[in-house]
């Protein structure tokens, strides 16, 4: 009976995260449109797009791996969710988190990208291959400063449990990692820009030169699966950064507000800065953010 109750809360949490991701996508696109002096889409447009794509059947076949690509991509986002504690102090909303869950979540972050690479690569479209090669190269560079930041806070808090890291940050803003370890936070927030895929790090999609990258041949239900993953992944990755650097959340309202502003950080930077070329993006990530991450580790080792 206990496991049934646990699964019920996990599924309910997934529904909440999915819906918040879709709503947030509509709000963000509305903000971007207003900043560009346009009216923009309706906030409900992501729902319309999702329902429309799930209602369309695809007649294109490129082999089994082509179909499994979006499934692996969604599995990466859902996998992160399953082991991510959402609300601190609540057993019901802790999902399946455990000691050392941070390591597993970092693996899941790359799992979806690899699955998508195998699927899109089998499609044979040159834009898909270009987008995947760019994505894998950039994401590897993104992982470096993020991993260094995680190592720094693991040394600081002496744990790889997300729940214990959040617990150590309770008691006020002065206990947040943002304050106690600003270098690790800065390195992670820069890597977050690349993880979200907004300018200047949107080298994968690059709509001006590489029309929508890997999803070029994915449409219908396949595209719906990718849109579902995007809604979940953007929120749950913001929740990860919230737990590691901004004190976590003790209720759903706090989670929604913090995840929105963390995600909006990437949107704001994307509206201000133009897009990097892929070589510029990778070299930049391997320089300043990596150096900041190394310094964050050295400070706590001294």
Is the whole-model pTM more than 0.85? Answer: yes
pLDDT digits (tens, 9 = 90+) for 128-155: 777 777 778 888 888 899 999 999 999 9
Closest CA to 89 of 251, 300, 302, 282: 251
The parent domain of residue 228 ranges over 2-301
pLDDT digits (tens, 9 = 90+) for 36-53: 888 888 889 999 999 998
Element (H or E) spanning 129, and its range? helix 126-157
Tell me which range, 122-131, 174-183, 279-288, is most confidently predicted by mean pLDDT. Answer: 174-183
Contact 243, 84 (CB under 8 A): yes
- Higher local confidence (pLDDT), 100 or 255: 255
Does the pLDDT at position 69 exceed 70?
yes
**What's the total number of domains in the chain?**
1
Q: Average pLDDT in the 243-271 region?
A: 93
What band does 212 get if pLDDT is binned at 50, 70 and 90?
low
Does the pLDDT at position 211 exceed 60?
no
DSSP calls for 153-205: HHHHHT---HHHHHHHT-SSGGGSHHHH-HHHHHHHHHHHHHHHT-TTS-TTT
Q: Residue 50: count other Cβ atoms within 10 Å of its Cβ.
A: 19
What pLDDT shows up at residue 94?
92
């Amino acid at each position: 009976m206990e496991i049934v109750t646990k699964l019920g809360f996990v599924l309910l949490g997934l529904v909440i995260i999915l819906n918040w991701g879709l709503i947030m996508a509509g709000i963000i696109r509305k903000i971007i449109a207003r900043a560009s002096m346009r009216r923009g889409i309706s906030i409900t447009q992501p729902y319309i797009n999702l329902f429309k794509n799930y209602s369309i059947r695809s007649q294109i076949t490129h082999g089994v791996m082509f179909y499994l690509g979006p499934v692996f991509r969604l599995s990466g986002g859902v996998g992160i969710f399953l082991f991510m504690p959402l609300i601190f102090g609540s057993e019901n909303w802790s999902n399946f988190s455990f000691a050392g869950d941070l390591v597993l979540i970092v693996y899941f972050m790359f799992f979806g990208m690899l699955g998508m690479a195998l699927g899109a690569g089998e499609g044979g479209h040159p834009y898909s291959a270009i987008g995947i090669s760019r994505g894998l190269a950039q994401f590897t560079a993104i992982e470096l400063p993020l991993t260094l930041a995680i190592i720094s806070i693991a040394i600081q808090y002496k744990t790889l449990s997300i729940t214990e890291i959040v617990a150590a940050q309770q008691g006020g803003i002065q206990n947040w990692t943002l304050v106690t370890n600003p270098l690790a936070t800065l390195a992670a927030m820069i890597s977050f820009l690349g993880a979200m895929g907004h300018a200047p790090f949107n080298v994968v999609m690059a709509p001006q030169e590489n029309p929508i990258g890997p999803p070029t041949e994915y449409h219908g239900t396949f595209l719906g699966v990718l849109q579902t993953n995007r809604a979940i992944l953007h929120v749950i990755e913001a929740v990860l950064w919230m737990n590691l650097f901004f004190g976590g959340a003790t209720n759903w309202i706090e989670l929604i507000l913090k995840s929105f502003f963390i995600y909006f950080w990437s949107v704001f930077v994307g509206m201000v800065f133009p897009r990097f070329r892929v070589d510029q993006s990778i070299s930049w990530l391997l320089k300043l953010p990596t150096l900041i991450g190394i310094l964050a580790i050295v400070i706590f080792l001294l």
